[in-house]
A and B are shown apart, each in its own frame.
Chain A
């Protein structure tokens, strides 16, 4: 599970049960959720239960796990319960057992067997398209659209907005969406990037797409769209075939209206607004896959960022930035987007056709930090785009100095969350703090005073509720 899908998972977890139930009607959605959202152990549990004739007694489940796999088990089960995939039931004899939700079970079986008549994996167009487009064209289209959006965010901040055609033809809908997601803010008609926006720009492409789509999802009810429809359409897109055209006749009205927005993002391509078919681009088909397919989407997008690398045949995922120990930066790029990103935290001095050079200065770093960019973000940007000759390592001097410049400004770190205190017994405290630790939400603990601090509450709440029920 990568950063990109974990964002989507966080969003999914917060949905109410009714939405989940509706979502699980579509085998493509169920398969996509299974493939990319679930922790590895959870997948094994679901598969073991999928064709099980009866319930899975929780005692049996316990014996199936090794003693040291307990933490993994708790995490997997809590995600599964949160997503309303399994439910814990108690029969008359107080024997508890797990059970898959019927809708989920049915859809996942259909997805694996290829049975049913749901047609949820996309219906290819029956007529051959006279103007069939190639995969290379789709990649180019997706890259152009997406880079436009990024450039709109970054370019205007650093005052490049008039420098080129990039970032100009971003649709009003997309601009509004970026504003709603608080990726950019507009002051006196001037667009500037926010901290969230910078996080967004520095993410992997796949994660960027998800972040934007999640904003889209959050706002879909206001646009009169059903969240379920939007989500299942996105998951369907993720299971389509690149380079194939699909008919829109089987789509719902919501989904058809989504096509316009999605083609503005570069996620799907349509030859015209009234075309009866659409092509998914690489951004779409990698929505529900991570590591494996991600490199290809990065590759497609970076192909123009490093034009020197030329063809898309593989080696152009490499970086282009050289950082010297004297804080000088050389970046072999001619992409306006990359230059704009660099200029957020570097003092750029010279630009050549294929190279820009500049220097990291205290001034430039503190300016970036004021914009809401953290030193960690800068460093990870530099190291992930480092030139192969750098071997992905930035010199410790530079790393430390960038951090020190940041620490000068901030002495206190804050975490939003919840303080748990006033436990009745040591036992109760130990249990709950252990559970919080295994979920990975524990931030701080004070054993002497039986207090601890968590940054997420939902699962703890469920756990407490469950315990109360089992006691009472």
Chain B
């Protein structure tokens, strides 16, 4: 109907950007936040994050947000609050007694109501998550379940995209309307642009190499950029995530200034990013992590069945730690692999982890191969 508005020639109405869905994965690993407590305590990080979420919601009228906490023993929804009736969508550890509907936020005349709704849901779910964490949970692992949280974010995005994208009601209606809300099935849909933002504080994520890698490939395929804000620690895995999906990677020198980093670096959505120069990781470390000691390796051994990577050839019982198949690496250990005399079919030895673009002569230790 825009065309009939004769007065509207100054600003073309057609350039309305599509609504954008921002899925935030907040790493709530208590161990890592304890280290950060001097510079940026979790409470102020969350307060800044809420301002950022409001800014995102304000940037487009149909913008949506989803927030997932990647905690030490489970990944849990912070917003939207999962319905207790559908346990599958709440957390991969089962619902337990997690959040029933939180009470409606008090009417605050100083706050825009949609903002207040999101904020109160996030805060109540977060405090519920933190109070339900026991010492046993903390003691069991020092890291965070980023893989599970990423999968939750991706599945939520997939569902929302389905709800937004135009459907041919005559063809696929029966199959898809089962998934979609009956209300919205017939409505005209607008494409949804989505992105994932991971606010990460945990350093060592190599133990989740496989699930995270799988999520990265899924995101790559769906053209969902994964943005990384790395407040502490360092991990090659997340660098690879942002590089593979075309997301933003930032590791601020001063975590206190998180809000400015968020507002400038992470707020522009996919539409706006076409006009901006976005920060990226620069030199990306493409090395993979070994599965036995979670060390980043330059040269390792690879299981021929499941492609798991090991840093040393001494495996217990000569079985692969991941898939359990027979794997004798001792024979592969030789100073001159090129001169290996013809033997029975043996395990291969590969250089440089997963990516062949890594130059062969990578210095051991801190040296990061520069890509591109």
Interface residues in chain A, defined as those with a beta carbon under 8 Å from any beta carbon in chain B: 1-3, 6-7, 9-10, 27-28, 31, 34-36, 39-41, 43-44, 47-48, 50-53, 63-66, 68-69, 72-73, 110-124, 199, 202-204, 207, 239-241, 250, 289-293, 295, 313-315, 317-318, 374, 376-377, 380-381, 384, 440-441, 455-456
Contacts and interface: CB of A to CB of B under 8 A. Distances in A.
A3 B263 CA distance: 28
Contacts of B186: 314-315, 318
A456 B7 CA distance: 12
A51 B60 CA distance: 19
Interface string B244-285: 000000000000000110011001100110111100000000
B25 to A, nearest CB: 21
Contacts of A441: 10
Interface string B88-127: 0000000000000000000111111101100100000000
Contact of B10 (A116, A199, A289, A456): A456
Contact of A112 (B10, B51, B108): B51
A73 B275 contact: yes
B187 to A, nearest CB: 6
B107 A314 contact: no
Contact of A2 (B9, B13, B119): B13
Given A52-B260, A240-B113, 5 more contacts: A9-B11, A112-B51, A113-B54, A199-B4, A313-B183
Given A3-B2, A63-B277, A440-B12, A115 B110 contact: yes
B148 interface: no
A119 to B, nearest CB: 4
Nearest to B57: A35
Contacts of A377: 4
B2 A2 contact: yes
B210 interface: no
Contacts of A120: 109-110
A124 B242 CA distance: 45
25 contacts: A7-B5, A7-B7, A7-B8, A9-B11, A35-B61, A47-B263, A47-B264, A48-B263, A48-B267, A51-B259, A52-B260, A66-B274, A66-B277, A69-B274, A69-B275, A69-B276, A111-B58, A116-B110, A119-B109, A120-B110, A250-B109, A291-B16, A295-B187, A317-B188, A440-B12
Given A6-B8, A35-B58, A199-B4, A121 B113 contact: yes
Contact of A380 (B3, B15, B116): B3
Contact of A114 (B17, B59, B116): B116
Interface residues of B, number: 55
A315 B186 CA distance: 6
B218 interface: no
Contacts, number: 177
Interface in B175-212: 182-188, 190
A47 B110 CA distance: 20
B1 interface: yes
Given A2-B2, A7-B7, A64-B277, A241 B113 contact: yes
Greatest chain A CB density within 10 A among B11, B12, B62, B113 is at: B11
Ordered nearest first, which 5 A-B pairs have the shortest CB separation?
A: A69-B275, A114-B111, A292-B62, A119-B109, A48-B264
A49 B263 CA distance: 8
B15 A40 contact: yes
Interface in B144-164: none
B62 A41 contact: no
A72 B15 CA distance: 11
A384 B184 contact: no
Contacts of A291: 16, 19, 61-62, 190
Contact of B59 (A1, A43, A69): A43
B365 interface: no
Contacts of A124: 107, 109
B55 interface: yes
A31 B112 contact: yes
A116 B55 CA distance: 17
A292 B4 contact: no
Contacts of A63: 277
Nearest to A115: B110
Contact of B1 (A64, A204, A314): A204
Interface of B: 1-13, 15-17, 19, 51, 54-55, 58-62, 107-113, 115-116, 119, 182-188, 190, 259-260, 263-264, 267-268, 271-272, 274-277
B58 A118 contact: no
Greatest chain A CB density within 10 A among B1, B6, B264, B267 is at: B1
Contacts of B111: 114, 121
A314 B184 contact: yes
B55 to A, nearest CB: 5
Given A50-B263, A65-B275, A3 B119 contact: no
A121 B109 contact: yes
A381 B4 contact: yes
Nearest to A35: B58
A114 B47 CA distance: 11
Contact of A123 (B13, B58, B109, B119): B109
B110 A110 contact: yes
A313 B184 CA distance: 9
Contact of A290 (B61, B107, B116, B272): B61
Contacts of B7: 7, 10, 199
A51 B51 CA distance: 11
Nearest to A75: B11
A114 B4 contact: no
Contacts of A440: 9-12
B110 A6 contact: no
A458 to B, nearest CB: 10
Contacts of B183: 313-314
A44 B268 contact: yes
Contacts of B182: 314
Contacts of A66: 274-277
Given A35-B61, A114-B116, A314-B184, A3 B110 contact: no
A65 B277 contact: yes
Greatest chain A CB density within 10 A among B59, B60, B109, B115 is at: B109
A6 B108 contact: no
Contacts of B185: 314
Contacts of A315: 186
A380 B4 contact: yes
Contacts of A31: 58, 112
A44 B4 contact: no
Contacts of A73: 275
B55 A112 contact: yes
Nearest to B55: A47
